[in-house]
Amino acid sequence: QQWYSSSMKVICMWLADRLDLQLHIYQLKTLIKIVKKTYRDFRLQGVLEATLNSKTYDTVHSRLTVEEATVSVTDAGGLQGITMKDSDE
């Protein structure tokens, strides 16, 4: 649980440092993959939902979703199917 929380906190701080900058397409793709994989892996390891869906995760998820929407409007095929939306949603 501590490892997951620390990982999300580092990503959140990195995004906060770049709050006034739009992420590059490769940064966005990489972060989406990292956040989704981290979330899924720790969920499979039995980390509690309250820890998984923390305020930090919500902040990261919201920022990446906004960045994703911006890219989809400005760059026609930029993300190539990579999205924050879970495939089981």
- pLDDT tens sequence across 38-50: 999 999 999 999 9
Query: What is the CB neighbour count within 10 angstroms for residue 88?
Result: 5
Q: How many residues does the chain have?
A: 89
List pLDDT tens digits, range 28-81: 999 999 999 999 999 999 999 999 999 999 999 999 999 988 887 776 666 666
Q: What is the pLDDT of residue 81?
A: 65
How far apart, in whole angstroms, are the C-alpha atoms of residue 60 and residue 62? 5
